[in-house]
Amino acid sequence: MASSTMLFSLTLLFLGIIALSNAQSLSLKYYSKTCPKVESIVKKETNKIMVVAPTLAAPLLRMHFHDCFVRGCDGSMLINSTTNSQAEKDGFPNLSLRGYGSIDRVKTAVEKECPGVVSCADILALVARDATLALHGPFWPVPLGRRDGRVSLANETLANLPPPFFNITQLKASFASKNLTTKDLVVLSGSHTIGTSHCSSFSNRLYNFTGRGDSDPSLDPNYAARLRSRCPPADQTTLVEMDPGSFKTFDEDYYTLVAKRRGLFTSDSALLADSETREYVLRQARTKGSTFLEDFAESMVKMGKIGVLTGSQGEVRRRCAFVN
Protein backbone atom coordinates (compact mmCIF):
# COMPACT_ATOMS: atom_id res chain seq x y z
CA MET A 1 0.00 0.00 0.00
CA ALA A 2 2.82 2.40 0.92
CA SER A 3 4.61 1.81 -2.40
CA SER A 4 1.35 2.43 -4.31
CA THR A 5 0.83 5.71 -2.47
CA MET A 6 4.41 6.77 -3.21
CA LEU A 7 4.00 5.88 -6.91
CA PHE A 8 0.79 7.92 -7.08
CA SER A 9 2.50 10.90 -5.41
CA LEU A 10 5.46 10.69 -7.79
CA THR A 11 3.09 10.54 -10.77
CA LEU A 12 1.30 13.69 -9.57
CA LEU A 13 4.65 15.41 -9.05
CA PHE A 14 5.79 14.43 -12.55
CA LEU A 15 2.57 15.70 -14.11
CA GLY A 16 2.88 18.92 -12.12
CA ILE A 17 6.43 19.45 -13.40
CA ILE A 18 5.25 18.92 -17.00
CA ALA A 19 2.35 21.36 -16.53
CA LEU A 20 4.67 24.00 -15.05
CA SER A 21 7.18 23.53 -17.86
CA ASN A 22 4.43 23.90 -20.48
CA ALA A 23 3.09 27.06 -18.84
CA GLN A 24 6.55 28.60 -18.80
CA SER A 25 6.98 27.93 -22.53
CA LEU A 26 4.08 30.25 -23.37
CA SER A 27 5.26 33.60 -24.70
CA LEU A 28 3.89 37.07 -25.38
CA LYS A 29 5.82 36.99 -28.66
CA TYR A 30 4.88 33.49 -29.71
CA TYR A 31 3.26 34.58 -33.00
CA SER A 32 5.56 37.56 -33.68
CA LYS A 33 6.87 35.94 -36.87
CA THR A 34 4.12 33.50 -37.84
CA CYS A 35 1.05 35.72 -37.23
CA PRO A 36 2.11 39.17 -35.96
CA LYS A 37 -1.36 40.71 -36.39
CA VAL A 38 -3.23 38.07 -34.41
CA GLU A 39 -3.99 40.21 -31.34
CA SER A 40 -5.21 43.18 -33.40
CA ILE A 41 -7.41 40.89 -35.51
CA VAL A 42 -8.94 39.25 -32.44
CA LYS A 43 -9.55 42.59 -30.75
CA LYS A 44 -11.14 44.10 -33.85
CA GLU A 45 -13.53 41.18 -34.32
CA THR A 46 -14.34 40.94 -30.60
CA ASN A 47 -15.13 44.66 -30.42
CA LYS A 48 -17.52 44.30 -33.38
CA ILE A 49 -19.30 41.51 -31.51
CA MET A 50 -19.46 43.50 -28.27
CA VAL A 51 -21.01 46.52 -29.99
CA VAL A 52 -23.89 44.35 -31.19
CA ALA A 53 -24.11 41.90 -28.26
CA PRO A 54 -22.40 43.15 -25.07
CA THR A 55 -24.16 40.48 -23.02
CA LEU A 56 -21.91 37.90 -24.69
CA ALA A 57 -18.90 39.14 -22.70
CA ALA A 58 -19.81 37.17 -19.59
CA PRO A 59 -20.43 33.84 -21.40
CA LEU A 60 -17.18 34.22 -23.35
CA LEU A 61 -15.21 34.91 -20.17
CA ARG A 62 -16.93 31.97 -18.48
CA MET A 63 -16.18 29.77 -21.49
CA HIS A 64 -12.44 30.39 -21.02
CA PHE A 65 -12.76 29.54 -17.31
CA HIS A 66 -14.68 26.34 -18.07
CA ASP A 67 -12.16 25.37 -20.73
CA CYS A 68 -9.21 25.79 -18.38
CA PHE A 69 -10.77 23.86 -15.49
CA VAL A 70 -11.38 20.76 -17.62
CA ARG A 71 -8.20 19.27 -19.15
CA GLY A 72 -6.47 22.65 -18.97
CA CYS A 73 -6.71 25.61 -21.37
CA ASP A 74 -6.68 23.47 -24.51
CA GLY A 75 -9.79 24.58 -26.41
CA SER A 76 -11.51 21.24 -25.73
CA MET A 77 -14.53 23.26 -24.53
CA LEU A 78 -15.18 24.19 -28.18
CA ILE A 79 -15.33 20.70 -29.71
CA ASN A 80 -18.70 19.39 -30.91
CA SER A 81 -20.16 16.12 -29.69
CA THR A 82 -20.23 13.17 -32.06
CA THR A 83 -22.56 10.18 -32.31
CA ASN A 84 -20.02 8.21 -30.27
CA SER A 85 -19.01 10.80 -27.67
CA GLN A 86 -20.61 13.64 -25.73
CA ALA A 87 -18.22 16.61 -25.61
CA GLU A 88 -17.65 19.14 -22.81
CA LYS A 89 -20.01 21.72 -24.30
CA ASP A 90 -22.86 19.23 -23.74
CA GLY A 91 -21.92 18.57 -20.11
CA PHE A 92 -24.55 19.85 -17.68
CA PRO A 93 -22.50 22.82 -16.35
CA ASN A 94 -22.02 24.10 -19.90
CA LEU A 95 -25.55 23.83 -21.24
CA SER A 96 -26.27 27.50 -20.50
CA LEU A 97 -23.12 28.75 -22.24
CA ARG A 98 -23.37 30.64 -25.51
CA GLY A 99 -21.01 32.50 -27.80
CA TYR A 100 -19.50 29.62 -29.76
CA GLY A 101 -20.40 31.40 -32.99
CA SER A 102 -18.37 34.39 -31.85
CA ILE A 103 -15.28 32.23 -31.37
CA ASP A 104 -15.84 30.75 -34.84
CA ARG A 105 -16.13 34.25 -36.31
CA VAL A 106 -12.85 35.36 -34.76
CA LYS A 107 -11.14 32.10 -35.75
CA THR A 108 -12.27 32.58 -39.37
CA ALA A 109 -10.77 36.08 -39.45
CA VAL A 110 -7.48 34.82 -38.00
CA GLU A 111 -7.38 31.84 -40.40
CA LYS A 112 -7.78 34.22 -43.33
CA GLU A 113 -4.62 36.04 -42.25
CA CYS A 114 -2.62 33.08 -40.89
CA PRO A 115 -4.05 29.70 -41.92
CA GLY A 116 -3.28 26.80 -39.60
CA VAL A 117 -1.13 28.82 -37.21
CA VAL A 118 -3.14 30.10 -34.22
CA SER A 119 -4.82 27.62 -31.90
CA CYS A 120 -8.44 27.84 -30.81
CA ALA A 121 -7.22 27.73 -27.19
CA ASP A 122 -5.21 30.92 -27.75
CA ILE A 123 -8.11 32.59 -29.57
CA LEU A 124 -10.47 31.79 -26.69
CA ALA A 125 -7.99 33.25 -24.18
CA LEU A 126 -7.64 36.44 -26.24
CA VAL A 127 -11.39 36.82 -26.83
CA ALA A 128 -12.09 36.44 -23.09
CA ARG A 129 -9.61 39.24 -22.38
CA ASP A 130 -10.87 41.57 -25.11
CA ALA A 131 -14.56 40.99 -24.29
CA THR A 132 -13.85 41.86 -20.65
CA LEU A 133 -11.92 44.95 -21.72
CA ALA A 134 -14.87 46.07 -23.87
CA LEU A 135 -17.00 46.21 -20.70
CA HIS A 136 -14.45 48.46 -18.95
CA GLY A 137 -12.62 45.56 -17.36
CA PRO A 138 -8.84 45.35 -17.01
CA PHE A 139 -6.29 44.56 -19.69
CA TRP A 140 -3.95 41.66 -19.06
CA PRO A 141 -1.13 40.28 -21.19
CA VAL A 142 -2.03 36.89 -22.66
CA PRO A 143 1.00 34.61 -23.06
CA LEU A 144 0.41 32.53 -26.21
CA GLY A 145 1.50 29.20 -27.62
CA ARG A 146 -1.27 26.89 -26.37
CA ARG A 147 -2.06 23.90 -28.52
CA ASP A 148 -5.53 22.45 -28.98
CA GLY A 149 -6.51 19.22 -27.26
CA ARG A 150 -8.12 16.40 -29.21
CA VAL A 151 -10.22 14.96 -26.36
CA SER A 152 -13.44 16.47 -25.01
CA LEU A 153 -15.66 14.50 -22.62
CA ALA A 154 -18.92 15.73 -21.12
CA ASN A 155 -18.55 13.44 -18.10
CA GLU A 156 -15.42 15.32 -17.00
CA THR A 157 -17.25 18.62 -16.51
CA LEU A 158 -19.12 17.82 -13.30
CA ALA A 159 -15.95 16.53 -11.65
CA ASN A 160 -13.89 19.62 -12.48
CA LEU A 161 -16.17 22.67 -12.59
CA PRO A 162 -17.21 24.12 -9.21
CA PRO A 163 -21.02 24.45 -9.14
CA PRO A 164 -22.86 27.49 -7.73
CA PHE A 165 -23.90 25.57 -4.59
CA PHE A 166 -20.35 24.81 -3.38
CA ASN A 167 -19.38 25.93 0.13
CA ILE A 168 -16.07 27.64 0.86
CA THR A 169 -14.23 24.41 1.72
CA GLN A 170 -15.26 22.83 -1.57
CA LEU A 171 -14.40 25.98 -3.53
CA LYS A 172 -10.92 26.24 -2.05
CA ALA A 173 -10.27 22.56 -2.78
CA SER A 174 -11.48 22.95 -6.37
CA PHE A 175 -9.20 25.92 -7.03
CA ALA A 176 -6.26 24.34 -5.22
CA SER A 177 -6.54 21.31 -7.50
CA LYS A 178 -5.79 23.68 -10.39
CA ASN A 179 -2.86 25.29 -8.53
CA LEU A 180 -4.91 28.42 -7.84
CA THR A 181 -4.84 30.08 -4.43
CA THR A 182 -7.59 31.25 -2.10
CA LYS A 183 -6.89 34.78 -3.32
CA ASP A 184 -7.37 33.63 -6.92
CA LEU A 185 -10.71 32.16 -5.86
CA VAL A 186 -12.08 35.38 -4.38
CA VAL A 187 -10.62 37.51 -7.17
CA LEU A 188 -11.94 35.40 -10.04
CA SER A 189 -15.35 35.23 -8.33
CA GLY A 190 -15.46 38.94 -9.11
CA SER A 191 -16.23 38.02 -12.72
CA HIS A 192 -19.82 37.70 -11.49
CA THR A 193 -19.94 41.47 -11.78
CA ILE A 194 -21.10 40.89 -15.38
CA GLY A 195 -23.70 38.57 -16.83
CA THR A 196 -26.93 36.85 -15.89
CA SER A 197 -28.03 33.54 -14.45
CA HIS A 198 -31.06 31.31 -14.82
CA CYS A 199 -33.23 31.12 -11.69
CA SER A 200 -32.61 27.38 -11.50
CA SER A 201 -28.98 28.03 -10.50
CA PHE A 202 -29.98 29.62 -7.18
CA SER A 203 -33.68 28.87 -6.61
CA ASN A 204 -32.73 26.28 -3.97
CA ARG A 205 -31.85 29.28 -1.78
CA LEU A 206 -35.30 30.84 -2.13
CA TYR A 207 -37.79 28.09 -1.34
CA ASN A 208 -37.87 25.59 1.51
CA PHE A 209 -34.12 25.88 2.12
CA THR A 210 -34.16 23.95 5.41
CA GLY A 211 -37.44 22.13 4.86
CA ARG A 212 -39.48 24.80 6.66
CA GLY A 213 -40.56 26.87 3.66
CA ASP A 214 -37.76 29.36 4.29
CA SER A 215 -34.94 30.95 2.32
CA ASP A 216 -31.20 30.60 2.84
CA PRO A 217 -30.42 32.51 6.09
CA SER A 218 -27.12 33.69 4.58
CA LEU A 219 -29.11 35.63 1.97
CA ASP A 220 -30.42 39.12 2.77
CA PRO A 221 -34.18 38.59 3.33
CA ASN A 222 -35.20 41.63 1.30
CA TYR A 223 -33.06 40.47 -1.60
CA ALA A 224 -34.49 36.94 -1.27
CA ALA A 225 -38.01 38.39 -1.49
CA ARG A 226 -37.07 40.35 -4.60
CA LEU A 227 -35.63 37.23 -6.21
CA ARG A 228 -38.76 35.22 -5.40
CA SER A 229 -40.83 37.85 -7.22
CA ARG A 230 -38.68 37.23 -10.31
CA CYS A 231 -38.28 33.47 -9.98
CA PRO A 232 -41.36 31.32 -9.31
CA PRO A 233 -40.64 27.78 -8.07
CA ALA A 234 -39.32 25.47 -10.80
CA ASP A 235 -38.66 28.40 -13.18
CA GLN A 236 -36.13 27.22 -15.77
CA THR A 237 -36.14 30.13 -18.24
CA THR A 238 -36.02 33.49 -16.44
CA LEU A 239 -32.66 35.27 -16.38
CA VAL A 240 -31.58 37.42 -13.43
CA GLU A 241 -28.69 39.90 -13.38
CA MET A 242 -25.81 38.73 -11.20
CA ASP A 243 -24.86 42.34 -10.45
CA PRO A 244 -28.14 44.29 -10.58
CA GLY A 245 -27.73 47.79 -11.95
CA SER A 246 -24.33 47.32 -13.61
CA PHE A 247 -24.31 43.81 -15.07
CA LYS A 248 -22.94 45.18 -18.35
CA THR A 249 -20.02 46.94 -16.66
CA PHE A 250 -17.00 45.18 -15.24
CA ASP A 251 -16.61 46.88 -11.85
CA GLU A 252 -16.23 46.19 -8.14
CA ASP A 253 -19.96 46.30 -7.33
CA TYR A 254 -20.00 42.52 -6.95
CA TYR A 255 -18.07 42.80 -3.69
CA THR A 256 -20.43 45.47 -2.37
CA LEU A 257 -23.34 43.11 -3.00
CA VAL A 258 -21.61 40.12 -1.40
CA ALA A 259 -20.75 42.25 1.64
CA LYS A 260 -24.45 43.10 1.96
CA ARG A 261 -25.34 39.36 1.77
CA ARG A 262 -26.73 39.82 -1.72
CA GLY A 263 -24.48 37.43 -3.61
CA LEU A 264 -26.69 35.47 -5.98
CA PHE A 265 -25.14 32.02 -5.53
CA THR A 266 -24.24 29.96 -2.49
CA SER A 267 -20.67 30.14 -3.78
CA ASP A 268 -20.85 33.96 -3.60
CA SER A 269 -22.15 34.00 -0.03
CA ALA A 270 -19.51 31.41 0.86
CA LEU A 271 -16.81 34.07 0.44
CA LEU A 272 -17.94 35.54 3.77
CA ALA A 273 -17.34 32.23 5.54
CA ASP A 274 -13.53 32.32 5.32
CA SER A 275 -11.29 34.93 6.96
CA GLU A 276 -9.09 35.52 3.89
CA THR A 277 -11.88 35.73 1.32
CA ARG A 278 -14.09 37.78 3.66
CA GLU A 279 -11.30 40.30 4.27
CA TYR A 280 -10.82 40.69 0.51
CA VAL A 281 -14.56 41.15 -0.13
CA LEU A 282 -14.92 43.76 2.60
CA ARG A 283 -11.78 45.62 1.54
CA GLN A 284 -12.88 45.89 -2.09
CA ALA A 285 -16.35 46.99 -1.01
CA ARG A 286 -14.91 49.59 1.36
CA THR A 287 -12.30 50.97 -1.07
CA LYS A 288 -14.42 50.86 -4.26
CA GLY A 289 -12.30 48.06 -5.66
CA SER A 290 -8.92 49.69 -5.07
CA THR A 291 -6.96 46.62 -6.22
CA PHE A 292 -9.63 44.45 -7.88
CA LEU A 293 -8.86 45.15 -11.55
CA GLU A 294 -5.13 44.69 -11.04
CA ASP A 295 -5.70 41.51 -9.02
CA PHE A 296 -8.14 40.16 -11.61
CA ALA A 297 -5.64 40.66 -14.42
CA GLU A 298 -2.98 38.80 -12.44
CA SER A 299 -5.25 35.87 -11.61
CA MET A 300 -6.47 35.59 -15.21
CA VAL A 301 -2.89 35.27 -16.48
CA LYS A 302 -2.36 32.53 -13.90
CA MET A 303 -5.59 30.72 -14.77
CA GLY A 304 -4.78 30.89 -18.48
CA LYS A 305 -1.72 28.70 -17.90
CA ILE A 306 -3.54 25.75 -16.32
CA GLY A 307 -2.59 22.44 -17.93
CA VAL A 308 -1.66 23.94 -21.29
CA LEU A 309 -0.41 21.83 -24.20
CA THR A 310 2.63 23.22 -26.00
CA GLY A 311 5.28 22.28 -28.54
CA SER A 312 4.30 19.15 -30.46
CA GLN A 313 1.45 18.27 -28.08
CA GLY A 314 -2.11 18.40 -29.38
CA GLU A 315 -2.76 20.25 -32.63
CA VAL A 316 -3.85 23.57 -34.12
CA ARG A 317 -7.45 23.07 -35.20
CA ARG A 318 -8.59 24.60 -38.47
CA ARG A 319 -12.15 24.77 -37.15
CA CYS A 320 -12.65 25.04 -33.40
CA ALA A 321 -15.63 22.68 -33.24
CA PHE A 322 -13.84 19.80 -34.96
CA VAL A 323 -10.55 17.99 -34.40
CA ASN A 324 -8.42 17.95 -37.53
Q: Is 122 annotated as a binding residue?
A: no
Question: Among 101, 106, 113, 147, which residue's Cα sits nearest to residue 321?
Answer: 101
State the DSSP code for 62. Answer: H
Q: Is 72 annotated as a binding-site member?
A: yes
Question: According to the annotation, is 88 in a ligand binding site?
Answer: yes
Q: Which residues are catalytic?
A: 66
51, 248 Cβ separation under 8 angstroms: no
d(C-alpha 285, C-alpha 282), whole Å? 5
Would you report the helix, strand and coil content of the chain in percent, each value rounded to 5?
Answer: 55, 5, 40
22 Cα distance to chain centroid? 20
**Binding site annotation covers 251?**
yes
67 in a known ligand binding site:
yes
DSSP 241: E
Question: Residue 107: helix, strand or coil by DSSP?
Answer: helix
In 74-221, where do the E strands start and end? 196-198
Which amino acid would we find at residue 199? Answer: C
Q: Are strands 239-241 and 196-198 parallel, antiparallel or unpaired?
A: antiparallel
**Is residue 243 annotated as involved in ligand binding?**
yes
**Could you say which DSSP state residue 313 is in?**
S
- Nearest alpha carbon to residue 66 among 26, 98, 19, 42: 98
- The reply, when asked if residue 192 is annotated as ligand binding, is yes
Q: What 3-state DSSP class applies to 144?
A: strand
Annotated binding site for Ca(2+): 67, 70, 72, 74, 76, 88, 193, 243, 251
Binding residues: 67, 70, 72, 74, 76, 88, 162, 192-193, 243, 251
Q: Which residues are annotated as a binding site for substrate?
A: 162
